[in-house]
Amino acid sequence: MASVIKVFLEDLAQPRYGFELMRITGLPSGTLYPILAKFERAGWLTGGKEDIDARAEGRPPRRFYRITGDAVPAARVQLAALSERYRPPVTIRPQLSPRGGII
Amino acid sequence: MTAWAWAALCLVGTVLLGTLGDLVHDEIRGWLDLVPHAVLRLAASRLNVSQRGTIYEDEWLPELCYVLRGSESRPITRLIRGITFAAGLLIAARRIAREISRDTPSLPSHDLPVLPVLPALLQSVSAPIARDRIPARITSFDAFYDFYYPKLTLFLKSNDSGSSLAEDIAQDAMIAACERWDELLNYERPDAWLFKVAIRKLRRAQAGAKERSKQELLANADQQSSVTVHESADTRLYLAAALKALPTRQAKVISLRFLSCYTVAETAQILGLTEAAVSAIQRRGLEVLRQQLGPLHNE
């Protein structure tokens, strides 16, 4: 979930499509789409339709997602909290210096 | 048959075979293109009828068309990507349908776990309650997080022997709250929901640790002494022993009142009791603790 929301935070105005998100995050569709549905239900993401001429493109317009303004600060806080949670502990081990003593 | 006739026959045969090969190629290509669509239709059949229009026709199908067109020059790549995309949705279709149609979660009313240790209570019994003012109405998740996360962590630490577990559970509960923030905004007390979710998660975590012995619990309680770092190990053991005599309901009330700093009314709402009942339970609990901690409290 964090990797998905991180993509949206990288460019707030950029609409993101399902297949594009799959390629960026490396998540399969079976994992990504439940996450998108969950975020949309929570009001973090909002959906829209691609503005294309379907006949000229030869395909129907895709659905895109954008992060909502209200979700941006909450998402940043959550990502920061997750980063803090999974940050490895810093351990400083004393090492012997070539001239003796400890560095 | 002359050599010219053979040559003409070979030429016609070559042309015919080439044309036939192209036809077979196009036929196979057309059939292969149908495979991802067929898998996607199968995935759509796992959705509710009311959801098929919005999910399948507006989202999945256009995306599959884009996937297939985007790599149209490479038929095998196109086929693999299309089938992978559709197969993933086939597996997850039910989950997606559930996510979209999910209503407000109803939380089972679990009891709080028995408090193994409550060292901060000693100060609270004698000192006036230093309670942060709860904002009248929190509308942003940031403010909600900033205000309730420390309280929830403190509450969980007081109810569980591992401080890292308490922080993990508090984070998980906050993430759950964040995911349902729009729904929580409609609740009269979103913090009550948060505490219930955290308690439920704590109970699950504790269910796997039932075999821990009493001595291990007390030893772990020592590790969470960040609340009262000035107390000695003997004092904490003494407090733990005193709290073991406290009934569960009294422990719940006192924990919410004095560690999480909830008012009587808020505690009553969280536990589903009347305010009078909370006051009575609190009074009885404090009396028991004063008796238990009497010699220590007087020091």
DSSP B114: P
Residue pair B44/A42 in contact (Cβ under 8 Å)? The answer is no
Tell me how far the alpha carbon of residue B80 is from its chain's centroid: 34
A43: chain B residues, CB-CB within 8 Å: 181-182
Q: Does the beta-carbon distance from A63 to B59 stay under 8 Å?
A: yes
Return the residue of A nearest to B98 by Cα: A34
Chain B residue with Cα closest to A34: B96
Name chain A contacts of B179, Cβ cutoff 8 Å: 38-39, 42, 44
With beta carbons under 8 A apart, name residues in chain B contacting A85: 167-168, 171
Sheet with A16-17, edge to edge strand ranges: A16-17, A63-67, A45-49
pLDDT at A101: 59
Secondary structure (3-state) at A15: coil
Contacts of A31 in chain B (CB under 8 A): 88, 92
pLDDT at A47 over 50: yes
Over the stretch A1-41, which tens digit does the pLDDT of each residue have? 788 888 998 888 889 999 899 989 999 998 999 889 888 88
Chain B positions in Cβ-Cβ contact with residue A19 (cut-off 8 Å): 63, 66-67, 70, 85
Handedness of CA B106, B108, B111, B115 (dihedral sign): negative
Cross-chain CB nearest to A37 (options B85, B87, B100): B100
Establish how many alpha carbons lie within 13 A of residue B222's alpha carbon, considering only the half-sphere containing its beta carbon. 11
A34 contacts chain B (CB < 8 A):
yes
Nearest to A52 by CA among A43, A64, A60, A40: A60
State the Cα–Cα distance between residues B95 and B93, nearest whole angstrom.
5
- B179 in contact with A at a CB cutoff of 8 Å? yes
Residue B48 to residue B93: CA distance in whole angstroms: 10
Length of chain A measured in residues: 103
User: For residue B131, what is the DSSP state?
Assistant: -
Percent of chain A residues past pLDDT 90, beyond the cut: 17
Work out the average pLDDT over A47-57.
86
Residue A45, SS3 per DSSP:
strand
Q: A-chain residues within 8 Å CB-CB of B142? A: 73-74, 77
Q: Which two tokens stand for residue A80?
A: 């920061």
Which residues lie below 8 Å from residue B208, measured CB to CB, with a gap of 6+? none
| Nearest partner of B86 among B67, B58, B99, judged by Cα | B67
CA B248 to chain centre: 26
Q: Is B180 on the interface with A (CB under 8 A)?
A: yes
Residue B195: predicted pLDDT: 84
Pick the residue from chain B with its C-alpha nearest to A73: B142
The pLDDT value given to residue A17: 93
pLDDT at B125: 36
**Does the complex come out with an ipTM higher than 0.85?**
no
Taking the alpha carbons at both ends of chain A, their separation in whole angstroms is 42
Contact, A33 vs A100, CB < 8 A?
A: no
Low-confidence spans in chain B with pLDDT less than 50? 104-133, 213, 217-218, 221-237, 295-299
| Full DSSP string of B159-211 | HSS-HHHHHHHHHHHHHHHHHTHHHHHTSS-HHHHHHHHHHHHHHHHHHTTTT
Does residue B171 belong to the interface with chain A, where contact is any CB pair within 8 Å?
Answer: yes
